[in-house]
Structure 1
Amino acid sequence: MFMPHHIVEQRLQKKFDDDVRRHFFRGMEFAGPLGDPGWFGPGSAVWHVHSHIPSLVFGLQCAAYLERLDPSIYWMGVHHSRLVKRDESGTAPPRLDPAGLSVRLGHSIAFFIGTAYGSTATAERLAQTVRAMHHTIKGVRPDGATYDADDPDWLRWNYATVVWGLATSHERYYPNPLRGKRLDGYYGEFVRVGHALGGTDLPATKAETLECLESYLPRLALTHGAAMATGPNLPLPQSAIDWAIRDTMPKWARQLIQHQSPNVVELAARRAAIWSVLNGLHAAAGPFPEFEQAKARVADGTTVAHTLPTHVPGTDPERSRDEVEHSFA
């Protein structure tokens, strides 16, 4: 017996509300001020790409897998995040914490919806909070190498993994994807977010992003976290999702983790299955209220074509980690 569509939509929206919106969207403004376009506004490539929540979430997972190939990012997570359960020495192989993973994903979804569709003030506040968290992440890996989340090289790598994951997920699984120059328009617009987080010299096209990612290959490695989060070590259906994530990686990155694609027929079938799942969820969930509120906010026109992040590197006030985490609450 099939459940009516409106019932399915209500249940999916309620689950999103219970799991994500009421925990991570607090203080975010989408309905006003009237005429405020935010950082992007109507007609932007970012509004088009980020409107598809399932492919957005999938793209964030693609980015997370790729960024874990950087040993410094891996140890940043081990030492500073709640993604893992740590031992007292901080050197033993960590165990993933499902609750921490859910919190991280919730914050990420809120950030990329809020900076895309939120008011200018909302986008500025979100970026300032993430910068403040980055300012607290400094330390030493077990091999003696230091890491610093404010390092320009790290910011550039991290930015490239995120925009690649989101854009590639969109290109492959969105029903009406941007391509060619229109997709490069997304890469170009999204740079605003990277600059707001303190990034410099960021890639602004698909080709530049691929070149940027590959340039980091000499410093990358198959970390313990990446190895344990890959196919043979995961049960179904996680291993199927993991395959789809690895399938979005550049060829050299797939080679690094010894990922091999199946024959052309099976490859097409697997991608079609993922496409059906993601778009089925998108259709069932219906329009998200945040998107509808943002559209209504600018329905009578905008004050400017878009606003730009105002962050000037080096101007953030010093905040303790406790103060930063309280701002997330």
Structure 2
Amino acid sequence: MPPNDNLLARRFERSFDADIRSRFFKGLEFAGPEGDPGWFGPGSAVWYVHSHLPTLMLGLVAAAYIEGLDPSISWMAYDHSRIPERVDGVPTGGIDPEGAAVRLGHSLSFFIGTAYGSTATAERLARTVRAMHHTVKGTRPDGLPYDADDPDWLRWNYATVVWGLATAHERYHRRPLRGADLERYYGEFVRVGEALGGTDLPATKAETAECLESYLPRLAVTPIKAFGTGPNLRDSKAKPWEPGSPFMDWAARDMLPGWAQKLAMYQPPNPAALRLRRGALWAALNGLHDATGPLPEFRRAKARVAGGV
């Protein structure tokens, strides 16, 4: 491996430790209790998919992008999160990089913690997120109420997440799951959605695609969404792998289903440039994973389970 790849890997690991792991992984148990498989365990599709951190991050960014096409989600984020940039309390129309990084950090700790953490850790994370959802209620400017406990919202939110994680894995993992193995991921992941209160959740790739498209009549690109995507990110100060960066914005929009790309007015480059860009992203994501190796949490979970055999 060229020295610059090692240097990039070390910089990424230091950045992840400082910005994500040290802040958002506190209190999560991966090394014990001995023999506890957690929610999924070795051999599960979830363990395989979530062990590739670069594609996991990309999948979460893509999920957040399509999730925000629901106007109620846009207003939930606007009213109840730190993602919108504000100066003296007044929204600027931009994205707060720190707020976006906090959202990504919490998401990563949740999806890594529920995958590899002890059973108690996974259940505690789910209770924490459900408690947070209980507080997210309000009214959109057009007078329609929103409620993060609404079953329709929970189903939409779940479908966007499992779609994002599975699609990023399929397209950019060096050895992605295919066919029945990929369907196993969709089936296993339902446990996460149900733990958050979801019902009637899609459990296959086809069901997930159908679920997402069924919400199309209620979706739109709100001004909030428009301010945080495409050309409006040219002056973004976010790091390339963070939400709010032009690079991640392109990668997320390029992964969208065709109907969602039309809604977001995504204009792909010519076919040759598109293949080159996707190939470069594939090489970068897998090169980074090869350089850093499996997640430490994944390795600790394997040792925890093996210790009980």
2:263 — aligned with what? 256
Matched, 1:275 2:282: yes
Q: Deviations over 1:137-192 (max 9, x none)?
A: 00000110000000000000010001100000000000000112211110100000
2:15 — aligned with what? 15
Farther-moved stretch of structure 1 (208-217 vs 78-87): 78-87
User: How many residues get paired?
Assistant: 300
SS at match of 2:202: coil
2:17 is aligned with what amino acid? D
Q: Deviations over 1:249-297 (max 9, x none)?
A: 1111011112133343222211101101111221222232211100001
**Distance 1:71-1:8 versus aligned 2 partners, 3 A rule:** closer
Matched, 1:134 2:141: no
1:26 is aligned with what amino acid? K
1:306 — aligned with what? none
Q: Please tell me whether the aligned partners of residues 56 and 169 of structure 1 are also in contact (alpha carbons under 8 angstroms).
A: yes
1:172-251, aligned counterparts within 5 Å? 172-235=171-234, 238-251=245-258
2:45 — aligned with what? 45
Post-superposition offset of 1:300: 4.4
Q: Please tell me whether the aligned partners of residues 85 and 92 of structure 2 are also in contact (alpha carbons under 8 angstroms).
A: no
1:239 is aligned with what amino acid? P
% identical aligned pairs: 66
Provide the rounded CA distance (Å) in 1 between the counterparts of 2:231 and 2:88: 29
Post-superposition offset of 1:6: 6.4
2:200 is aligned with what amino acid? D
Q: Deviations over 1:49-69 (max 9, x none)?
A: 000001000100000110110
1:31 is aligned with what amino acid? A
Provide the rounded CA distance (Å) in 1 between the counterparts of 2:4 and 2:272: 35
2:70 — aligned with what? 70
> TM-score, length-normalised on structure 1?
0.86
Provide the rounded CA distance (Å) in 1 between the counterparts of 2:26 and 2:248: 30
Provide the rounded CA distance (Å) in 2 between the counterparts of 1:88 and 1:153: 35
1:72-221, aligned counterparts within 5 Å? 72-86=72-86, 94-221=93-220
Post-superposition offset of 1:231: 2.2
Provide the rounded CA distance (Å) in 2 between the counterparts of 1:5 and 1:232: 30
1:322 — aligned with what? none
Provide the rounded CA distance (Å) in 2 between the counterparts of 1:179 and 1:273: 22
Post-superposition offset of 1:93: 6.4
SS at match of 2:17: helix
Provide the rounded CA distance (Å) in 2 between the counterparts of 1:107 and 1:13: 17
1:60 — aligned with what? 60
Farther-moved stretch of structure 1 (256-265 vs 80-89): 80-89
SS at match of 2:138: strand
Provide the rounded CA distance (Å) in 1 between the counterparts of 2:274 and 2:7: 34
Q: Deviations over 1:211-249 (max 9, x none)?
A: 000000000001123222322222286334322211111
1:28 is aligned with what amino acid? L
2:33 — aligned with what? 33
**Distance 1:246-1:87 versus aligned 2 partners, 3 A rule:** same
2:297 — aligned with what? 290
Provide the rounded CA distance (Å) in 2 between the counterparts of 1:26 and 1:232: 37
1:292-307, aligned counterparts within 5 Å? 292-300=299-307
1:146 is aligned with what amino acid? P
Farther-moved stretch of structure 1 (118-127 vs 217-226): 217-226
Provide the rounded CA distance (Å) in 2 between the counterparts of 1:206 and 1:121: 29
SS at match of 2:38: coil
Farther-moved stretch of structure 1 (152-161 vs 220-229): 220-229
Gaps of 5+ in 1: 303-329
1:214 is aligned with what amino acid? E
SS at match of 1:298: helix
RMSD: 2.1
Post-superposition offset of 1:98: 1.4
Farther-moved stretch of structure 1 (273-282 vs 232-241): 232-241
SS at match of 1:95: strand
